């Protein structure tokens, strides 16, 4: 039994080493990779202020994790260090 049932898929190689089966998947992956690269490049200039815990988060890895969890908690604000 094939992985996708009876449909054979053709993997296509797009720019920036993106390999996908159709154009929509390729566009989604390109957008996702672009957003993650942008986030990693500017996260060093950000701080996260958590008013529930009375903390200011400055470490890069912790800021990244706080940005990914920011929608689940209120009173968490992202500020620029400048």
pLDDT band at 2 (very low <50, low <70, confident <90, very high): very low
Maximum separation of any 2 CA atoms in the chain, in Å: 57
Strand order in the sheet with 55-57: 55-57, 46-50, 76-80
Q: State the pLDDT at residue 7.
A: 63
Cα–Cα distance measured from residue 48 to residue 77, given in angstroms and rounded to the nearest whole number:
6
Is the pLDDT reported for residue 82 higher than 80?
Answer: no
Smallest Cα–Cα separation from 18: which of 2, 34, 40? Answer: 34
At 1 the pLDDT is 40
Question: What's residue 56's pLDDT?
Answer: 92
Q: pLDDT, tens digit, for every residue of 18-62?
A: 777 778 888 888 888 888 777 777 888 889 898 888 999 999 888
């Amino acid at each position: 039994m094939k992985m996708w049932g009876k449909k054979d898929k053709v993997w296509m190689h797009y720019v920036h080493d993106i390999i996908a089966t159709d154009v929509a998947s390729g566009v989604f992956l390109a957008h996702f990779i672009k957003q993650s690269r942008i986030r990693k490049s500017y996260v060093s200039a950000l701080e996260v202020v958590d008013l529930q815990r009375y903390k200011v988060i400055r470490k890069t890895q912790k800021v990244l994790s706080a940005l990914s969890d920011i929608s689940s908690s209120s009173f968490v604000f992202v500020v620029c260090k400048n």
